[in-house]
Structure 1
Amino acid sequence: MSTERHVRLFRNGRNQALRIPREFEFAGNEAIMRREGDTLIIEPVRKPGLLSTLKRLDPVDEPLGDVDEGMLPLDDVDL
């Protein structure tokens, strides 16, 4: 895959726009754009995974209830 390609800029209403060629497409429908000097950098928005989401949660200080409360006793099982 090539790392660069010539593209044309055009107007879309009051915005300047460009079409992203197929070989540069991102998955999803959102991206982050930032400027560094004369360079525009476009990055896909990555949804955080379960572990990073859990790391951001505050710890639970409440004690967990007895999970066996209200359940019938287990029968003896012969193996």
Structure 2
Amino acid sequence: MTPPSSRPREARLFRNNRSQAVRIPVEFELPGDRVLIRREGEKLIIEPFAKPATLVELLAAWQRQPPLGPKDQFPEIEDSPATPETIF
């Protein structure tokens, strides 16, 4: 469940050795001690780090997914026969 949107708040930037850091206000606090960060244009997106699922957990999650509907299927593609090519 996504929390409701909130108004932007100003946050302080500071240096920690050779890295830049940001003090995150308490209402934006993230769980855990690691995050994922990426750039989208001029924005930095910070997300909670989620431990990768084990293969068993991943397969169990896939098994619970509803089957694909007709519009989710791949279109039929005419398969042309292979032709020999000369390689130099």
Relative to the length of structure 1, the TM-score reads: 0.56
Alignment-derived partner of residue 55 in structure 1: 59
Alignment-derived partner of residue 2 in structure 1: 6
d(CA) in 2 for partners of 1:52 and 1:37? Answer: 36
SS of residue matched to 1:28:
coil
Relative to the length of structure 2, the TM-score reads: 0.51
d(CA) in 2 for partners of 1:52 and 1:45? Answer: 20
2:30 aligned with 1:26:
yes
* Identity across matched positions, percent: 54
* RMSD between superposed Cα atoms in Å: 2.7
Tell me by how many angstroms 1:2 deviates.
3.3
Higher fraction of helix = 2
Give the gaps of 5 or more residues in structure 1: 57-79
Which of the two has higher C-alpha Rg?
Answer: 1
Equivalent pairs counted in the alignment come to 56
